[in-house]
Amino acid sequence: MEPGPTQVDPRVIQAMCRPVVYHQSREFIETVDVVCEQLQRIYQTAGEIVVLPATGRGGIEAALGSVREPDQILVIPTNGSFGRMMANIGRAVGLNVVELPFGPGEPILRADVEEALGRYDKPILGIVHNETSTGMVNDISGYGAAVHRRGGLFVVDTVSSLGGVPVQTDLQEIDLCVSASQKSIGALAGLSFVSVSPRATEQFDQRSSLHRGMYLDLRRWWEMCLPTSRGGKLTSGYRRLPWTMPTHLVFALQVAAEVIFEEGLHARWSRHERAGVALRNALVELGLKPVPAAGWESATVTAMYGGDDLDVNDVRAALSERHGIGVAGGLDDLNGKIFRIGHMAETARFGPQVHVVSALAYELEQRGIKTGTYPIEALITSWGEE
Ligand code: PLP
């Protein structure tokens, strides 16, 4: 029940039980094309998608590093560990980072962001959509248009939201939208993907300096892999992937996307929403307090304070040892203070939630903490008919 890597449909794992294939074969590149088309539907974009053999933060580094100009400004409102991580990645690739810090679970103030954007020419704006460290979803609407008015680019981390929470890449004018395989998409860890707007693609060609590395330069996807009909250059004369792709993770991702379409994107978003409401209601009944401000809770991860009398990490150890249930703890300053429970892909269901709520109720009672009487009823009522 950790917030990723999450449990997946068994068909996703079965998809890997097949012989080795050559990653540069025409057949495999066709599979990559299919996966990119699937991801376009999930991302709600007509833009190109790059699939990278990297985890989520590799995708963020690739996105920022592939468009940055020397001394360019990255404005980044942060309200959790992953926002701060994006700011650090920005520093690492040579951006001048203007961080707007907010407290854990506090909403980002739009006026502050717009005021900061107004101070710079061609800034990059970076936002984490779903702040996994605090179980909070940030509102990303409207920022794309605001940063485009300043001639800049909008970069969004949807690592823990894509597939579980609506992401409308084109409508929200996101230029580089980064996600990863192991969370709400319901595939296996090891792949990151970046959707790239035409604006960002232009910047690959216009940037005045070399990329600081080579491996994570997204421009190589256009140079080597994309057909000329889609703006590719095919420098080798034929389509080649820029790296040895972990072929079997791509096969697993293809099946994970099929699983998403089998359920339907809208049905899947509402299942995740219900999972979030249900788990939160049950945990509030147990006496725990949500980390995010009311109304900002995430549909894919729930973060709750344990309270002053509870050793959260001791409870987590007991959940694992006695009940076989893994839940995550707090990151950075929140270590030892909060629980983080994922409801992504196959864990966003009533069954796993009954186990975690019952086990938590048991462990709290063992420690003499008075809990509400009906946590499971809260869960059942919230899930409704299911
Ligand atoms: N961004 C967010 C919101 C995340 O939740 C995570 C991982 O939990 C990352 C980035 C980093 O992704 P990865 O661990 O795949 O590099």
- pLDDT tens profile 323-342: 999 999 999 999 999 999 99
DSSP 174-217: -SEEEEETTSTT---TT-EEEEE-HHHHHHHHH-SS--S-STT-
pLDDT at 183 over 70: yes
Bridge partners (DSSP) of residue 341 are 302
- Residue 70 banded pLDDT, cuts 50, 70, 90: confident
- What percent of the chain lies above the pLDDT cut of 90? 93
Q: Residues 72-87: what's their mean pLDDT?
A: 98
CB-ligand 1 contact for 180 (6 Å cutoff):
yes
Instruction: Please name which of 146, 128, 125 lies closest in space to residue 136, comparing C-alpha atoms.
Output: 128
CB-ligand 1 contact for 89 (6 Å cutoff):
no
CB-ligand 1 contact for 160 (6 Å cutoff):
yes
Q: Residues 177-200: what's their mean pLDDT?
A: 98
Cα–Cα distance for residue pair 201/194, rounded to 1 Å: 12
- pLDDT tens profile 239-251: 999 999 999 999 9
- pLDDT tens profile 14-38: 999 999 999 999 999 999 999 999 9
CB-ligand 1 contact for 82 (6 Å cutoff):
yes
- Global model pTM greater than 0.95: yes
Q: Residues 179-196: what's their mean pLDDT?
A: 98
Q: Residues 123-138: what's their mean pLDDT?
A: 98
CB-ligand 1 contact for 316 (6 Å cutoff):
no
Residues comprising the chain, all counted: 386
Give the Å distance between the CA of 161 and the centre of ligand 1: 10
Cα–Cα distance for residue pair 181/344, rounded to 1 Å: 12
Give the Å distance between the CA of 66 and the centre of ligand 1: 19
CA-nearest residue, atom 12 of ligand 1: 56
**268, two tokens:** 């899947």
CB-ligand 1 contact for 2 (6 Å cutoff):
no
